[in-house]
Each structure stands twice: as C-alpha cells, then as structure tokens.
Chains A and B, each alone.
Chain A
Amino acid sequence: MPRNLPQYTKCAAPGGAYAIDGLSVAGMLFAGAIVGAIGGSVYVIVMSLLGQIATAGCVVGVGVYLLLIAGLLEFKDWFYNHRLMCILHDQCACGTVVGQPHDGTDGDRKFEILIAPFDVPETEQLLIQTLVEMGTAGTLVNVPDAVDLQNRQVRFGYFRGLSAADQIKVYLNLVDNHLFNQPGRGYLRFLYRRDQMIMGAAAFAASPDDAITASNPNPMFRVNAQEGNDPEENVLVPYMHCELEGNRLARWLDNVLVGLIAGFAAFTAFCVLCEVITMGALDFLCGWGGAAVSALIAFLAWLLSHLLNNPDDGVAGSPDVDVEDPDFDTPPSVARHGDVAYLFGDWVMDEEHNKYFEIHPIKAWYLLCQSERNPDDWELTEEIPAKECAFDVSKLTEEDFQRICKIVQAVENTDPDDKFTTTISHALSKGPR
C-alpha cells in the first residue's frame, strides 16, 4: 500500500539533470554574483533612502554574504533536484547484496546489488572465464592460469593491476558475452546496459554511450570496489548501486544557511547602525567591524543550529521509534552481504557518480533470502554444498520475477481495504492476536 514516502531528492527529466563540472561551478558562482550584486544594489538604495552613504566595505560585504547564500542554495537545489535523471518510476529489481551496506556523506544508505538471476559464485567463475579468454585472444596480457585465478587474492591482485579502461573492457565482456546472453536469463539486462526500448528515447539520448565498441565506454553498472572498505574483502562482480534516502547533507546545509543568514542579518544591521551612529566619520571601520561581529554571530548561530539539528540524525536508517503496538511495529531488519532482496523504487541515472544507473530511492525492501554463507569463504570446490536458503536466485525465471513485480506494484500503489472478511478457519490460520 502507499507509504506516502516523501523523498528528499527529486529526479529531473532527461536534459534537466546535469553533473557538477567546471562549467556548472562557474555558472553557480556567476549566478551567485548576480544575486550578490542585486543585494548590494538594494542596500545602496535603502541607505540612500535613509539619507546615509553606503560605504564600499558594507556594500561588498552584503554582496559577499548574498553570494555565499545564493551559492549554497544553488548547490542544494542541484543536489536535490538536478543530480539524478529520471528513467522510470516504481521499478522492480532483484539481486544479491554484495559488500556491506554503508552510509554516505549525504546520509544515504548505500547497497550494492548483483542483479538477478546471477549469484556471486557463478559470476566469479564467469569472470575467470572472461579473463582467460581475453588473455588467450591477446586483449589482456599476463593473465594468470585459470586454476590460480580461483584464488581470490590472485584474481583481485591481477584485476586491480589493470588500467581502468581494461577493467571496463573485462566487465563489459563479462556482462554482454557471459551473463546476460544466457537464454532466458537476460530479463534484467536493462539495469546494466542501456536499452532504448525500455528507457525511452529521451533518457537514452541523455545517457552516455556504453557500447563495448565505443572509444570510451561508460558502463551503467558499477565496477569499482566498495567505497572505503578493506579491498581484500571486496568481491569482483558488476553491481548496481541502490540507495535509501537520508538527508544528512540537507541538514548540514541548513545549519550553514542559518549561520550565513544570521551573519548576513547581523552584518547588515551593524553596517546600518554604524553608518547612522558615526554619521560617516568611521566609514572605513563599518565594513571590517561588521565582518568581525557578523562572523562571530554566524558561527554561534551555526553552532546552535548544529546542536539542535544534528546532521547525523538525517542518516537513512531506523530512528528512535519505540515499539508501541505489536500489531503495527515489527522487529528491525538488517541487510547483509549475501542476502537476496527484491527492491521497489525509482530507476535513475546518477550524474554525480559517472552516470551510473541506480535504484534511488528504494521505496520497499523485500528480503527473499538471508544468507548464512560467510562472504569471505572462497568457493573452491563443489564437494561441500554451501549452506543457503531454499530460494535460489539463480533459478529465478522472468515469469516469476514479473509475477512478483505485479504483486509488489499492486501492494505499493493501493490502499488496503477498510474491512477484511474471512472465514473463521482462515482467521484462525492467519493468527489471532
């Protein structure tokens, strides 16, 4: 049923989303300068109306404050309204969590998903096959023997030694020629590789070329190791980035804004008072004095706002909501490396991160399998079967995936019935409270 999940970030239509680059920064500074100039002009006009002279220091100070405020607003606007490009809303996805979930600076909780119906052991073996084939074909040099590549450290060491361009070539080869080309198993290929029929012409045109034959292909899946963790723990699979939304960055920006605006108000008030009281005798001090006083006030205001509006409370996660009613409240759920989950959320392209596809935000998380396997174990033999749950993601068919998607879309977009009538037998089965 609809959860009325307000989102902090709004994706922009193709063409309306853009990356932060030198041109964007210059544009923001220029726009900020325009706002600052307008503010400075208003200050001059107001001072004239009061019969006072607006000193250069105060005019510049007003302009600088407004430039900073405007710049911050522009950044906030870009981050939350123009960083992500919409592709499709309410998309279903399924896959295995790789690596440990972690929180980003912006407060979003990040999950990396190896898209179904592929699991980590199979993908790792196909990666080995890809490396060996490319070595034999001469595309890569010094590829270790296939048996040696079963050793995860050897594999990781060799792969990390490749250039970024070669790593991308390997992954594109893996994805196109070993994973999604398998009959009946490519139904989620579009989450890794651009597909105009599914994305739509506008989104397709606004996304970078990811063809294996392109001179500088930009894959839509992620190939880098998990951010910030011990690289030896990372698993070399192509994955899709998914995020739960938090608003740590917005809170931090709001606190800075409170400081800047408090400083701006203090500076303007100081300047006006200084001009009026000194009647132009100490014009040269008004600007500097105002800067000093306003900086102190800005800092104190920021500090207060930071104490009461802790940015860390904006991390996506479970806030301090006590269990009040067992009918409503449920024990917490934790996502772990190796879990298989079914996701529901918006499919976007992230302009900030090399234009990857993402599910952002994740609106619903359905756990299908909780892995009991130690993610650090190497899959060296088939002799000892891995301890796993009965749901096998590698056997998930397109038909099952679509059937589940229909159930999920109906549930996520429909209010439950006001009444539920059932037989007494079914009611006893469903568990009285």
Chain B
Amino acid sequence: MNLQNFLRMLVRVLVALPQEIAVALWRLVIIFLLLLLLLLRALLELIKRLVGKRCEKRNEREKCGEIPPNVKRKPDPCLYDQFYLLSLGYAVTWDNPDIWITLPDGTPVNSYDLLADTDYLVNAQIHDASFDPALATEVRCLYRPWSFNSPDRVPVELNPDGTERIVILHIPPWSQEIAQFHWHTPKTLGHFCLQVECYHPDDKNPNNNLGQENTQVVGGNAGQMIHAEALLFNRVETARRIRIEADQYRIPEGKIELKLATRTLPLRNKAPFDAIYNLLLRRDARGGIKTQNGYAPVWISYAYRGWEQLREGNSRGKFPIRAPWQLKVNGEDVAEGQTAELTLEPKQQMKIPIDAQIPAATAVGTRQSLNFTAYAENGKILGGVTLEVEVRT
C-alpha cells in the first residue's frame, strides 16, 4: 500500500463511517421488529403443531457445483419435432420443413426417390428457441427403411475411423443454423426415412429435439387410384392394438409476431415477513445504501409470448380428409376423421397398404398432402408418413 492509497482509504473510511453507523442503527430497529414478529410466528407454529397441523419443510440446499440462474445459460436447440407437436395438440406433417436433401451441387431432390449408390447432401436446420445461444449443439442424422417406425437406424455419414459423424453447431438466440451431412446411399435400391436429432447437455427443453422426414411424392391422374405402402412395427413384447389416423394438414404460409415479456427477480432467499425484511439497509462496499432486494443480484429473464396464435390453423383433428377424396388404410376408410385399426403381435412387422382415390375433377398441378400417424392403444405416438399426391394429367 503506498501513501496515495493510504490517504484515499482514510478519506473513504471517514466518509463511510457516518453512513455505516446510521445504517447499522436502522438495521437494529428493523431487527427488533422482525424478532418480535418471528417470535409471534414461532408461537403460532407451535400451537399449530400442538393441534396436529404439519409445518412446511425447507427446500434442500443446492449442490456445490450449482450455477445460479442469473449466470447459467440454457439454450433450447430444436427442430420440427412431430412427436412433440402432436403431444401438444398440433397437427403435423411428416414432410419435415427442417430436413431436405439436395445433390452435392445444391439441386433439391425428392427424399423418397433417391438413387442407389449416389452422393447426396442432407440438410438439417436446427433452431435455438432461447435467449441464450446454443453453443456446441450436437446434430445427428440417421436413415432407416421407409416405414412408420422401423427400428433399424443407421447414421448417414461416418467419420474416417468408422464412428458416426456428428455435426457441431453454434446457434445464436432465436436463430437457426444448418448442419450438412454427406450421404452415399446404399448400393441396393430402396426408400428411406430420415431422422435428425439435436442434443445439448444443458437443453432447456429436450423434448423437441427429434425430427423426421418421411415423405413419398406420388404422381397420378385425376380420377386415378394410387397405391402406396409403409412398414409398421410392433417393437414391444406384447401384442399391440394400433390406430392409424389420416389428415390433410399442411404447414400454412404466413408469419406470427411474438411479444417480449420481462421478469425481474431479486435473487435472494425469501425470508419470513419479506416486506419488512426488505427494509433492512446495507451499505454496499462498492458505494451506495441499498435494501436487501437492491443489494441482491437481480435475475432478469425473458420470454416471448403469443404462441397461442399457432393453435389457429395448426390444431390436431381439424384437417380430416374430405370428400371427394377417398382414402383407405389397410382396407379401412380413414376419410372424414375415421381411423383404421389393426393388431400386431409382439415384434411383428406389417406392410400397411394405402389407397387414395384422386377425385376426377381435381385440377392438374394440384398437390394434396395426406398425413398418416400411427398410435398405440395408450395413445403413444409410434410414427407416421406423408404422401404428397401430385396430379399430373
């Protein structure tokens, strides 16, 4: 400590002394008041205990490594997750807007009609639905046979050492980034579904991290009956009653506007008689006299409100297949909100035939979405496929 620092310290102490004395005496007054109130409270609780009422338990103390809420950052990497949306009551398409395939030069291709033994680029758009950036988000991409829910998932791209290639993205808040995977399709011709998963170790919401691209584009003429098939699996050890629903939902065009809401909380433990407790003053070592709330770190958090706007135009059950379209799944009519039901034995797989009658009066160029979702009897979502019917002549 040099002379300059010594003199500064002396002046600071002389200035601070009267304030500290005043603050300490005020604290004593408030402390006595709180003491009286706490004694009264303790007496009432004793009476309650004596007449048999239970007292509240304190919360557990946090662990040593816990990061407080005003310092920890919690991103929410996500993508169009059909399972998550269905569970919230939204209609879905299995033509995932966040997954698309191109040739290496960027030319878009249809995800169903891929050539064997050919190079493609799978593009996976990952969003961050948080005010905190999603740093080091892991993205995986897998394919499986064209089906509702085949268990055979294979990574689309491998590293030179044979391990699965995982793309790392750093996504700014409320923004999105694209992960690209190089896919050399198998030598045997086939049709595939794609799954993209994102992962973050501190994900605010890990339930919206799995997207599927299960789309078949089928061309037909007006008046024609078109036919498609998709495998359905029963992966469990017991027989399962499965229900298949169909709709003609499509993600609408348009935008929504969300508004910012802010919450400010003083980050301190709540005390009994908190309003009076907050009258305790303290002279902050950095300068200034503050209340308990003013002295505590402040936790400002944000949210965007207005998500309920999405309900309109996207709710499940509001887009049944309407006449004159006719649609059968496994021989059963699924138009107008009806469902097809079937039973699968344990570990059984079954090819589900889908037959759609294009109305004779359908204009050329019409593109009709037909979404099929399979549910187990307890409502568990098993998977789905989308047929995009293009009327060509």
Chain A residues within 8 Å of B, Cβ to Cβ: 1-10, 16, 18, 21, 23-24, 27-28, 30-32, 34-35, 38, 66, 69-70, 73-74, 76-82, 100-103, 109, 244-245, 247, 250, 254, 257-258, 261-262, 264-265, 301, 304-305, 308-309, 313, 316-321, 325, 327-336, 339-340, 342, 362-370, 389-391, 400, 403-404, 407-408, 410-411, 416-433
Contact = CB atoms under 8 A, between A and B. Distances in A.
23 contacts: A3-B299, A9-B285, A23-B1, A69-B17, A76-B285, A81-B286, A258-B24, A308-B31, A308-B34, A313-B269, A318-B69, A335-B67, A368-B136, A390-B138, A407-B133, A407-B172, A416-B173, A418-B260, A424-B252, A428-B90, A429-B80, A430-B174, A432-B307
Interface string B33-77: 011000000000000000000000001001111111111111010
A100 B251 CA distance: 48
Contacts of B303: 325, 327-328
Given A18-B2, A365-B72, 14 more contacts: A30-B6, A35-B17, A73-B13, A244-B68, A254-B27, A308-B280, A317-B62, A327-B305, A330-B204, A334-B63, A365-B73, A389-B138, A420-B258, A432-B310
Contacts of A317: 62, 64, 66, 68
B312 to A, nearest CB: 10
A6 B65 contact: no
A212 to B, nearest CB: 29
Contact of B260 (A2, A318, A420, A431): A420
B164 to A, nearest CB: 9
Contact of A261 (B9, B25, B70): B25
B67 A244 contact: yes
A172 to B, nearest CB: 29
Interface of B: 1-2, 5-6, 9-10, 12-14, 16-17, 20-21, 24-25, 27-28, 31-32, 34-35, 59, 62-74, 76, 78-81, 84-85, 88, 90, 97-98, 125, 127-129, 131-133, 135-136, 138, 166, 168, 170, 172-174, 176, 200-202, 204-205, 208, 211, 251-261, 263-265, 267-271, 277, 280, 282, 284-286, 295, 297-305, 307, 310, 313-314
A321 B296 CA distance: 13
Nearest to B174: A420
A318 B136 contact: no
Contacts, number: 317
B18 to A, nearest CB: 11
The 6 closest A-B pairs by CB, nearest first: A80-B285, A370-B201, A327-B303, A430-B129, A261-B24, A368-B136
A34 B14 CA distance: 10
Nearest to B309: A427
Given A320-B269, A427-B307, A428-B251, A362 B9 contact: no
Q: Determine which residue in A82, A319, A416 has the highest number of CB atoms from chain B within 10 A of its CB, and name it.
A: A319
A119 to B, nearest CB: 14
B25 A342 contact: no
Contacts of A430: 76, 78, 127-129, 174
A30 B271 CA distance: 40
Contacts of B1: 18, 21, 23-24, 27
Main DSSP-derived SS at the B contact region:
mixed
A421 B259 CA distance: 9
B78 A419 contact: no
A319 B267 contact: yes
Nearest to B14: A35
Contacts of A426: 127, 176
Given A27-B9, A100-B65, A428-B90, A368 B313 contact: no
B301 A419 contact: no
Contacts of B301: 328-329
Q: Determine which residue in A28, A102, A331 has the highest number of CB atoms from chain B within 10 A of its CB, and name it.
A: A331
B255 A424 contact: yes
Contacts of A433: 307
Contacts of A364: 71, 73
Contact of A73 (B16, B170, B267): B16
B170 A407 contact: yes
B133 A408 contact: yes
B273 to A, nearest CB: 10
Contact of A416 (B131, B211, B257, B314): B131
A365 B71 contact: yes
A70 B127 CA distance: 56
Contacts of B282: 254
A417 B138 contact: no
A416 B69 CA distance: 18
A3 to B, nearest CB: 5
A333 B90 contact: no
A103 B132 CA distance: 26
Q: Determine which residue in B34, B65, B200, B303 has the highest number of CB atoms from chain A within 10 A of its CB, and name it.
A: B65
